[in-house]
A and B are shown apart, each in its own frame.
Chain A
Amino acid sequence: MQDEAASRVLVCIQCGKCTGGCPESGRTPFNIRMLVRKKQFSYTIDESIPWYCTACNACTIRCPRDVKPSEVVIDIRSTLVENGDIPLAIQKALENTFVQKNPWGKPRSKRGEWAGKLNFKVPHISETEHKRLLFLCCVHAYDPRCMVIPVNVATLLHRAGYEFGILGEEECCCGNEIRRIGELGLFEELMEENKTNFKEYGVKEIIALSPHCMNTMKNEYGDTGIKVMHYTEVLSGLIKEGALKPHKPFEKEIIYHDPCFLGKQNKIFEEPRDILKSINNTNLKEFSRSKEISLCCEGGGGRMFFEVETHYKRNSETRVEEAQSKGVEIITTACPFCVMTLEEKAVEKGLAVKELSEILMEVI
């Protein structure tokens, strides 16, 4: 993977389309075009710079020469990881993931605790017929704010009569963020552990709650023969089939924020919107930058575990301000990282952030 990245930088023509689409450029010292340039000539790179990247992938999507600048960042980071030249907060996240299989170092034995909040029992994947796995994500398993999301989705699937199972404490971090931090060895270990479980229990489909987990399992786990989906794909299907009926009205002005790993990286734009449109009396608005050009919330690429030093206006604030100017009451999205980054700024300005499943629970 690293050799590939090194060879790709040589075809870069320095057109700057990457920087033009980068959510960090201009406001922060991060300049992705310069980074590729420095890599071309093997110049030294200030080790604090690569950590600004949020791994949104806008650069790679826009690049006319297929340089994959976002992979160049991973390449640079992986060298820093091998040398141990990494910010302390990133180091902690990696060490935690090594020991407890989640970046926060929460006990692995409590990974399945969320299921205790359900009023029905979710079977272990081995006890299911269809071998459909609901994959949690570390954030959903441990963060008190986000723990409601798996509870909601599990409840909705259950009501629709859709059979699924979980791995409980056997599940480990998907490695999406770990790979983007540049710890490729650790990513491999996590991937192998998850794949071993998938194989042992004969998993056929994965319903990922987080777009980040979905992305890596779908695109980076190699040929597993498993169909990987985001939960919004499954729920929008169930609504279309009539298995789930959002019958109560939701009389609110809402706006949908496209998560980078769901939208621009995996082209899932319509399913979340279809779900929202199926709700009565809801007025769904759009950001000026939406879908392919949605503005990154800055929660990806390891940024959930690491604060960059400089003070500048966060994208989440820009996003919330736009939502406010459009007169909406609620920002909705379908990614736990987006929920956390947006909510912080939204609360200050008197707006609410609701994860899509939270809205669905109110209308079904």
Chain B
Amino acid sequence: MDILVFVKRVAATQEEELRLIDDGKNIDLSKIPFKMNDWDNYAVEEAVKIVEGQGGSVTAISIGSAESDEVLRRAIAMGSKDGILMETQEAIHDPALRAQAIYNFLKKEDIKFDAIFTGVQSEDDQFAATGGILAGKMDLPYASMVIGIDAIENGYFVLRRELEGGLQERIKIKAPCILSIQSGINEPRYVSIMGIRKASKVERKTFKFNDFASRGDAIIDLIKWSYPEKKGGATMLTGEMDEICKEILEILKKKGVC
């Protein structure tokens, strides 16, 4: 089975306070390190596991700046056969534009595949939409929130999707198809620096994003960014033991857990 996996290089902002600059037109990421999008890490691992089991190949594809080569090398170190970069210096904020470019690229370059994997979402824009839009455009069956692939038989994936509250649904989906992989589906392997260095020797092809779509094709506009409403530190509950405990129960009720 030949699987294409889309991987994205994102800013590691989990512990950072972000600063907006240029009147909210930009986010200052200048001092923030980058890494592979967490969900894509799971998607690569899942694809590699499948190929290790039944043969085929994994190709990692990234849309982004030249630095996105980092995540391609990582994907190769994890077991991908090769990597493709669709290079664009500017960030893309419309998932429809992203999907349009991928669609045009796959058609024009006549890329063959049995499945496309994406992460459910990326840590930066959290759209969770690129895989689905692409599937709609390509007229391919689609599933998101894939938390387990139970079998691949007779041209079908039998897989589980994560729903809410500990519930899952098992579905059957026909290949070729597009699957968006949920974090936690597997335990992504560790890739050592030595492994990444070795991966540098594997060829990665570079294409220009603009050859497949132009920014004018975006169908939503990002006007600017703003900060969320401020939340102060802990609200301290004080007073009589009785009142405090009633307040705790009130909070639990509001959160719907008690």
Which residues of A approach B to under 8 Å, CB–CB? 81-82, 84, 86, 88, 91, 94-95, 98-101, 105-110, 169, 183-186, 188-189
Pairwise interchain contact B189-A84, C-beta atoms closer than 8 A: yes
Measured CB to CB, the closest approach of chain B to A113, in angstroms, equals 12
B190 at the A/B interface (Cβ < 8 Å)?
A: yes
Complex CA distance for A81 and B191, rounded to whole angstroms:
8
Give 1 or 0 for each of B18-59: 1 = CB within 8 Å of chain A CB: 000000000000011111000000000000000000000000
Complex CA distance for A189 and B192, rounded to whole angstroms:
12
Q: Which residues of B contact A100 (CB under 8 A)?
A: 12, 15, 33
Q: Which residues of A contact B197 (CB under 8 A)?
A: 185
Complex CA distance for A71 and B12, rounded to whole angstroms:
34
Pairwise interchain contact A99-B194, C-beta atoms closer than 8 A: no
Chain B interface, >50% SS class: loop
Interface residues on chain B, number (Cβ under 8 Å): 19
B221 at the A/B interface (Cβ < 8 Å)?
A: no
Known interface pairs A99-B33, A185-B197. Does A109 touch B16 (Cβ–Cβ under 8 Å)? yes
Pairwise interchain contact A84-B191, C-beta atoms closer than 8 A: yes
Q: Which residues of B contact A98 (CB under 8 A)?
A: 35, 193
Pairwise interchain contact B16-A107, C-beta atoms closer than 8 A: yes
Pairwise interchain contact B190-A84, C-beta atoms closer than 8 A: yes
Q: Which residues of B contact A183 (CB under 8 A)?
A: 192-193
Known interface pairs A88-B187, A99-B12, A100-B12. Does A109 touch B32 (Cβ–Cβ under 8 Å)? yes
Q: Which residues of A contact B196 (CB under 8 A)?
A: 185
B195 at the A/B interface (Cβ < 8 Å)?
A: yes
With A107-B16, A186-B192 given, name 8 new contacts (CB 8 A).
Answer: A82-B195, A84-B189, A105-B12, A106-B15, A107-B15, A185-B193, A186-B193, A189-B193
Measured CB to CB, the closest approach of chain A to B52, in angstroms, equals 13
Q: Which residues of B contact A105 (CB under 8 A)?
A: 12, 14-15
Pairwise interchain contact B31-A108, C-beta atoms closer than 8 A: yes
Q: Which residues of B contact A101 (CB under 8 A)?
A: 33
Rank and list the top 7 A-B pairs by shortest CB-CB distance, nearest first. Answer: A185-B193, A84-B189, A185-B194, A84-B190, A91-B190, A109-B31, A107-B15
Q: In the complex, what residue of chain B is closest to A109 when comparing beta carbons? A: B31
In the complex, which residues 117-170 of chain B have their Cβ closer than 8 Å to any Cβ of chain A? none
Complex CA distance for A6 and B193, rounded to whole angstroms:
21
Q: In the complex, what residue of chain B is closest to A178 when comparing beta carbons? A: B193
Q: In the complex, what residue of chain A is closest to B16 when comparing beta carbons? A: A107
Which residues of B approach A to under 8 Å, CB–CB? 12, 14-16, 31-35, 187, 189-197
Q: In the complex, what residue of chain B is closest to A184 when comparing beta carbons? A: B194
Pairwise interchain contact B194-A169, C-beta atoms closer than 8 A: no
Known interface pairs A99-B33, A100-B33, A109-B32. Does A188 touch B193 (Cβ–Cβ under 8 Å)? yes
Q: Which residues of A contact B34 (CB under 8 A)?
A: 99
Complex CA distance for A174 and B43, rounded to whole angstroms:
32
Q: Which residues of B contact A99 (CB under 8 A)?
A: 12, 33-35
Known interface pairs A88-B187, A185-B197. Does A108 touch B33 (Cβ–Cβ under 8 Å)? yes
Q: In the complex, what residue of chain A is closest to B187 when comparing beta carbons? A: A88
Q: Which residues of A contact B193 (CB under 8 A)?
A: 98, 183, 185-186, 188-189
Q: Which residues of A contact B33 (CB under 8 A)?
A: 99-101, 108
Q: Which residues of A contact B14 (CB under 8 A)?
A: 105
Pairwise interchain contact B192-A169, C-beta atoms closer than 8 A: no
Complex CA distance for A100 and B16, rounded to whole angstroms:
11
Complex CA distance for A183 and B195, rounded to whole angstroms:
11
Known interface pairs A99-B35, A108-B31, A185-B197. Does A81 touch B15 (Cβ–Cβ under 8 Å)? no
Measured CB to CB, the closest approach of chain B to A177, in angstroms, equals 15
Measured CB to CB, the closest approach of chain A to B135, in angstroms, equals 31
Q: In the complex, what residue of chain B is closest to A94 when comparing beta carbons? A: B190
Measured CB to CB, the closest approach of chain B to A88, in angstroms, equals 7
Q: In the complex, what residue of chain A is closest to B14 when comparing beta carbons? A: A105
Complex CA distance for A323 and B256, rounded to whole angstroms:
49
Complex CA distance for A105 and B189, rounded to whole angstroms:
18
Measured CB to CB, the closest approach of chain B to A14, in angstroms, equals 31
Q: Which residues of A contact B189 (CB under 8 A)?
A: 84
Measured CB to CB, the closest approach of chain A to B138, in angstroms, equals 34
Complex CA distance for A114 and B187, rounded to whole angstroms:
35
Complex CA distance for A98 and B16, rounded to whole angstroms:
17
Q: Which residues of B contact A81 (CB under 8 A)?
A: 190, 192
Complex CA distance for A81 and B12, rounded to whole angstroms:
23
Complex CA distance for A105 and B192, rounded to whole angstroms:
17
Complex CA distance for A100 and B15, rounded to whole angstroms:
10
Q: Which residues of B contact A110 (CB under 8 A)?
A: 15
Q: Which residues of A contact B16 (CB under 8 A)?
A: 107, 109
Pairwise interchain contact A82-B15, C-beta atoms closer than 8 A: no
Complex CA distance for A192 and B195, rounded to whole angstroms:
18
Q: Which residues of A contact B32 (CB under 8 A)?
A: 107, 109
Measured CB to CB, the closest approach of chain B to A90, in angstroms, equals 8
Q: Which residues of A contact B12 (CB under 8 A)?
A: 99-100, 105
Q: In the complex, what residue of chain B is closest to A98 when comparing beta carbons? A: B193
Q: In the complex, what residue of chain A is closest to B12 when comparing beta carbons? A: A99
Measured CB to CB, the closest approach of chain B to A80, in angstroms, equals 9
Measured CB to CB, the closest approach of chain B to A346, in angstroms, equals 28
